[in-house]
Structure 1
Amino acid sequence: MRLLVTGRDGQVAASLLEAGQARAGVEVVALGRPELDLARPDTVIDVIAVAKPDIVVSAAAYTAVDQAEDEPDLAFAVNATGAGKVAEAAERLGVPVIHLSTDYVFDGTKADAYVETDPTAPLGVYGTSKLAGEQAVAAVGPRHLILRTAWVYSPFGKNFVKTMLRLAADRDEISVVADQWGNPTSALDIADAILHAAAMLHRDKDFAAFGTYHLAGTGETNWSGFARHILDTSLKSGGSWARVGDITTMDYPTKARRPANSRLSSAKFADVFGWNAPDWRQSTEKVVRRLS
């Protein structure tokens, strides 16, 4: 099974490349800039066609949430038009596409975890552009999996875990928002889930459960609780540590609004694919130990 993943330097792409090396019969090919540039959507289809994948994983995205407020045209070119072109490339090849989306398609006002059928209402340009990407992917053809995830971290790229470890090396105390809740999700787990789902799609040419799914870590916390677990794990591993002080969203203003509730129910994915993410604490410890 040959998987092509867009976004060579992204957390999910890097995790898929690593995971693919450990799987017999799996080849993961990552394409990124300059060869594949979603900001130049006219180039996407031909580049993907040359790779001849069995499944396309659409992971590349514009993810600078605050910067997107100042660069809406670029965010939409990558996250909406570009994503649609990736799906079109897969459709032309007659293969499924697995597209990564985000909790930011919701406004965070729901009291419970979001399910796939809940109304979307993004708060900013980033979430709006990602929702437009979902719609573009779905419009191309039925053979798609749209996987919404949240609070992604890994040993690769820039992410919250790396930021906390870096700050703890220089500070005695770190102030972290305590009134935003979600499911920390390891890109290593996302990669494992994608490979699991891709294998099912590859085996079952009559697979009929295409559509939108939530895929996030098991269990919930707020950002400050996440930070405390990161730093306590780091301390146990001989790494940096700092106290975490709770603050509110109002105490940490950002250009783009964030949803107060990013919790996603992954029950549908577990039911259809028979895969559950580990508890977020366990996955966090695995990544922190690699980084310490």
Structure 2
Amino acid sequence: MKILLTGQSGQIGNELALSLQGLGEIISFSRQQMDLADLDQIRDAIRATRPDLIVNPAAYTAVVKAESEPELAMRINGEAPGVIAEEAQRLGAPMVHYSTDYVFDGTRDTPYDEAAPTHPINVYGQSKCAGEEAIARHCEAYWILRTSWVYSVGGGNFLKTVIRLAQEQEKFTIVGDQFGAPTWSKTISDVTRRLLVNQQTTPGTRIDLDHLRRTSGIYNLTAAGETSWHGYASFIVDRLQALNVPIKVGGAGAITPVPSSTYPVPPHRPQNSRLSGAKLESTFAVAMPQWQTDVAACLDEIVREYSLADGRKLA
């Protein structure tokens, strides 16, 4: 079993490189070897390796910067997945792709299920939506796994930004009227492995490609529960205090919630990023962990890895 993994240096890709070990030969390329902005290079790389499965977490994720370079965002997030899907279909290789809550406009009051109409309100969301449509158009066997508010021990993300703010400032403001589920990249990758090996019926070391083909489609894969960005930041600060990490901010009460209108310039972001996990749970018998459980576990790792309890600053 040959598994082509893109974006190994990213938050999800880095964890997938670990979670997928033992399931086959993992083939990954550097950006120089397989640049998703170079569509011909993508075709050449896939045709040279002839994988049995393609797992594609690679993406253009700079939400703000995408507004000023929409062509590049669309090429990487919209066109490249379509090329990968075409090559996967040509080889008869199923594809796993990761998408985002930002394909929705966030105007509804309830969580979005997979059948909800997409309506992205920023360039990043538009590019990811285009990628989903291209995959569905060109490939018969795929999982598109939509996730939200991704964080990890490594890489840049909101969780680590809040740690830095807590270490450097006595008080700060965070948006309080956007809601979603922070989701750990480790959980995303571990659940991906569980889906691939179809742990309902098979041992945990053999990928069941027929199972993927039978269940082809879009699935929401996010942590259970919901919070606002302000609630998320408050939880992080409370956890840091519980772990005896020296911080300047005067507890969660020193974090002030502000409305999205405080930041009126693009990119606009959906106020409701909640995704229903009912389809994932009913199809695969997967119960996602509560977001608080995973955030606490990730924070524990960060505090240990960076020796934050000893007073070191997060770089």
The alignment's TM-score, normalised by the length of structure 1, stands at 0.94
For 1:54 and 1:234, the matched residues in 2 are separated by 43
Q: Paired residue for 1:11?
A: 11
For 1:136 and 1:204, the matched residues in 2 are separated by 21
Report the alpha carbon displacement of residue 46 of structure 1 after superposing the two structures with TM: 2.0
Report the alpha carbon displacement of residue 53 of structure 1 after superposing the two structures with TM: 3.1
RMSD: 1.7
Per-residue CA deviations over 1:95-117 (Å, capped at 9, x if unaligned) read: 11011111111000010000011
The alignment partner of 1:147 has SS state of strand
Q: Paired residue for 1:290?
A: 301
Which residue of 122, 127, 132 maps to 1:129?
127
Report the alpha carbon displacement of residue 25 of structure 1 after superposing the two structures with TM: 3.9
Q: Which runs of 5+ in 1 are unaligned?
A: none
The alignment partner of 1:66 has SS state of helix
For 1:222 and 1:3, the matched residues in 2 are separated by 37
Q: Paired residue for 1:179?
A: 177
Q: Paired residue for 2:192?
A: 194
The alignment's TM-score, normalised by the length of structure 2, stands at 0.87
Per-residue CA deviations over 1:161-205 (Å, capped at 9, x if unaligned) read: 111111211111121000000011111110011111122393252
Q: Paired residue for 1:109?
A: 107
Q: Which runs of 5+ in 2 are unaligned?
A: 199-205, 304-315
1:87 equivalent to 2:76? Answer: no
Report the alpha carbon displacement of residue 83 of structure 1 after superposing the two structures with TM: 1.1
For 1:184 and 1:130, the matched residues in 2 are separated by 19
| Matching of residues 1-292 of structure 1 within 5 Å | 1-21=1-21, 24-200=22-198, 202-203=207-208, 205=210, 207-241=213-247, 242=249, 243-292=254-303
Mapped contact 2:220–2:279 kept (Cα < 8 A): yes
Per-residue CA deviations over 1:240-265 (Å, capped at 9, x if unaligned) read: 44232111111233421000000000
Which amino acid in the other structure matches residue 233 of structure 1?
A: R
Count of aligned residue pairs for this structure pair: 290
CA separation of 1:194 and 1:105: change in aligned 2, threshold 3 A: same
Which amino acid in the other structure matches residue 122 of structure 1?
A: P
Report the alpha carbon displacement of residue 74 of structure 1 after superposing the two structures with TM: 0.4
Mapped contact 2:97–2:142 kept (Cα < 8 A): yes
The alignment partner of 1:48 has SS state of helix
Which amino acid in the other structure matches residue 171 of structure 1?
A: Q
The alignment partner of 1:231 has SS state of helix
Report the alpha carbon displacement of residue 124 of structure 1 after superposing the two structures with TM: 1.2
